[in-house]
Amino acid sequence: MKLKQVLEIQKIVEGKLPIDMHDKWVYYSDSKQDWVDISELDIVHIIRIIRKHIGEKSNEQPTE
């Protein structure tokens, strides 16, 4: 499922979306060597992008 589909479902469930969710956001794809609109990406690919740029894989639960 693409991000734009997830956002449409969210809009139906919540009744509206935050205004910045209507902005176009692009991501540089190393594999395509081009800029890609993230709303056109599959949600699994977006999660992989986030993992790549934000954190390390861990099986440990965060402590509070």
Residue 59 lies in a domain: no
Q: Which domain holds residue 31?
A: 3-54
Residue 64 lies in a domain: no
Structural domains of the chain, count: 1
H-assigned helices in 1-64:
3-14, 43-54
How far apart are alpha carbons 28 and 35 in whole angstroms? Answer: 4
Residue 53's pLDDT is 82
Residue 62 lies in a domain: no
In total, the chain counts a number of residues equal to 64
Residue 7 lies in a domain: yes
Residue 60 lies in a domain: no
Sequential pLDDT tens for the chain (64 residues):
999 999 999 999 999 999 888 888 898 988 899 999 999 999 999 999 888 888 766 666 666 6
pTM above 0.85, yes or no: no
